Amino acid sequence: MKNILNKLLEKNKEKTYFTEENYICPAYINNENPKYLEIDNMYYSGLMIVNYLRENEELLLKNLIDTDINMNISIFYEKQDKYKMLKDLTYNIVNVSADLVEINENRQDADIAKYTYNDAKYIRKEMQINNQDIYFLYIYLNVFADSIKELEYNLNKIEGLIQGSGMQGRRANFRQEQIYKSSLPLMYNDKDLKLATKRNILTDGLISTYPFISSSIFDEKGVYIGRNIHNNSMIFIDRYNSKKYKNPNMCVFGTSGAGKSFYIKLLILRYGLQDINQYVIDPDREYGNVCKALNGTLLKIGPTSNTYINVFDIRKESIEKDEKGYLGIKINKLKGFFNLIFGEMNEEEKSLIEEKLIELYSNKNINFNDKSLYKIKNKKLVFKESMDMPILEDFYELLGKDKRTKKFHIKLLPFVKGSLNYFNKYTNIKIENKLIIADIYELGEENIKYGMYIFIDLFWDLIKINRKKRKVIYMDEIWRLIGVTSNKEVASFIYKIFKTIRKYSGSGVAITQDVSDLFSLDNGTYGKSILNNSNIKCFFCLEEENINILEKYSKLSEKEKIEIKSFSKGECLMFVGNDHILVKIDASDFEKNIIEKGEIIN
């Protein structure tokens, strides 16, 4: 500031006699009205906090700071001489004790005296035993607006907030100049104001006046999310900041049309600028425009698709370097997949399926020795490819040879010779892109869970390739894999992703509108685990039934429950660590055009 003023002075030294003060001071101040000051076409009016609740555990200024009303808040603390205060308190306690004896007949006076007596004794005890100090507290508010009408409206609103926070306010009529000065950063506390607002407070009580509590988040390297509904401040979240957040996982809940899919598309666009690998499960064919705009890879599985993924593939990246157990890990994943097809299996049936899977891979010269997964190609030792793996038809034929597995053989028929034979193919794609969209829309309601599982298995292997590279997997309609239509093996696999993905610099995002289904498997164990392992939770508009279910698993207040039910499109309640923020999701016209039309306009 000093440098700027010096440059201006240097520039104008031959033209004017302005000093530094001339550049800072207002052009005029009108203090003729006792209710407000007029300064450079702005109107200022002050409020004094003159009383507080005797006991308070809440942050006094939270509602004031969260509002978007223009005002300056000034707080003064004056530490008092402890020895003198103890002496005065003891003197007052003795006097009030004597008064209580005399005024015993007057009930109202006796009650007031008892309050004074008990408060004095409490303060003295805290100072003597708990070593607390005592302060005088002064709080002033200076509200300003462009018009008198707006100023009056804001003053009324502030008075309501003050009262709701357990404080008593008084307008500073005939003291507007004093409160204006005391609200400037000059460390000036006017003596006339002090007489009207002085209240004592112990050290513990100072916590309730802590002013730096605005529930906005502005992470330095964060992605822009939107604006705080209360105070219009911008919200930037860097969920990969491990020093600030326990994990980068996120849950997104909302009814159809509430704005959750739009929000996810915005995140994909914005994270696309940060060199983050993104993998998306798309059950409703919603992310094609974003994929096109970012030159991503669109994968499809369905009757009309020409891209295939073999569920039996064992990929080199499925375990990390220096680890062992390729086949064992794959068999556990396959048991979960076949649970989806065959229905819930008992332990005997699971053992039988495992026996057949071991035999299946053995027929391809693959066993529990990891060396069996390598072959010689062009005189080099390379990891086996999809063509070296079994496919569903091989498993189908193997199951048909054993009477014990006949019922499983029959259930696989549609996947081999029927309408779902696109699952009976060798993998014919190579994935080398920062954005991959898995379109499983054509699978339909009954079969969509199979496609989801296959792609999540593929993406999980890709995530483990590089621990340092940041990545994220979006699982839309996740309830299909951890809800009642799934099974414990599949749900455990999804939960494992959310629990361990941070170790690979990754983030899991669970998206759903069917909250009841999310918590329907095993008394909600898996849904709750994923919710607890997500440091960020976004609640868009929800029906009351779903809100009541979420209340059991997250700390929603009554006020927050009402807000979630009444949200407009694009508004949500965010839990970011311990912060609860009401957010309006914000997008530019440029971003909206990409999301809605898939076009980039220069």
Structure tokens at 284: 């409703």
Model pLDDT, residue 9: 53
Per residue in 533-588, pLDDT (tens digit) is: 999 999 999 999 999 999 888 888 888 899 999 999 999 999 998 888 899 999 99
All domains in the chain, ordered by first residue: 1-30 (no CATH), 39-209 (no CATH), 247-307+432-535 (3.40.50.300), 309-428 (1.10.8.730)
| Mean predicted lDDT score pLDDT of the chain | 88
C-alpha distances out from residue 104 to 89, 94, 114, 118, 381, Å: 22, 16, 11, 16, 100
What are the backbone dihedrals phi and psi of residue 164, each rounded to the nearest 5 degrees, phi first? Answer: -65, -20
The percentage of the chain sitting over the pLDDT mark of 90, rounded to a whole number, equals: 60
What are the backbone dihedrals phi and psi of residue 377, each rounded to the nearest 5 degrees, phi first? Answer: -140, 125
Low-confidence residues of the chain: pLDDT under 50: 1, 602
**Closest C-alpha among 430, 437, 440, 104 to residue 301:** 440
Structure tokens at 358: 């071991």
Rounded to 10 degrees, the C-alpha dihedral 340/346/347/351 comes to -60
User: How far is Cα of residue 210 from the mean position of the Cα atoms in its chain?
Assistant: 24
At 76 the three-state DSSP class reads strand
Beta bridge partners of 226: 235, 585
In this structure, the number of other CB atoms found within 10 A of the CB of residue 470 comes to 17
Per residue in 433-456, pLDDT (tens digit) is: 899 999 999 998 889 999 999 999
State the angle between helix axes of 488-500 and 525-532 in degrees (0 to 180), rounded to the nearest 10: 10
Model pLDDT, residue 3: 61
Report yes or no on whether pTM surpasses 0.85.
no
Contact at 8 Å (CB) between 544 and 565? yes
Model pLDDT, residue 8: 52
What are the backbone dihedrals phi and psi of residue 429, each rounded to the nearest 5 degrees, phi first? Answer: -130, 150
Going 188 to 191 to 197 to 202, the CA torsion angle's sign is positive
Provide the pairing of β-strand 71-79 with 42-52. unpaired
- d(CA 575, CA 77) in angstroms, rounded, equals 33
- d(CA 443, CA 440) in angstroms, rounded, equals 6
The DSSP 8-state label assigned to residue 259 in this structure reads S
Structure tokens at 265: 């598309």
- d(CA 501, CA 535) in angstroms, rounded, equals 13
Model pLDDT, residue 450: 93
Model pLDDT, residue 265: 95
Contact at 8 Å (CB) between 207 and 132? no
Q: Residue 35: which residues within 8 A CB-CB, separation 6 or more?
A: 45, 171, 173, 176
Task: Report the run of H or E that residue 457 belongs to, with start and end.
Answer: helix 444-463
Structure tokens at 84: 């003198």
What are the backbone dihedrals phi and psi of residue 247, each rounded to the nearest 5 degrees, phi first? Answer: -155, 160
Burial class (CB in 10 A: 0-12, 13-18, 19+), 341: middle
Model pLDDT, residue 423: 94
Model pLDDT, residue 344: 82
Ranges of beta strands (E only) in 55-102 are 71-79
Per residue in 180-228, pLDDT (tens digit) is: 999 998 899 999 999 999 999 998 888 888 876 655 788 888 999 999 8
Beta bridge partners of 581: 574
Burial class (CB in 10 A: 0-12, 13-18, 19+), 401: exposed
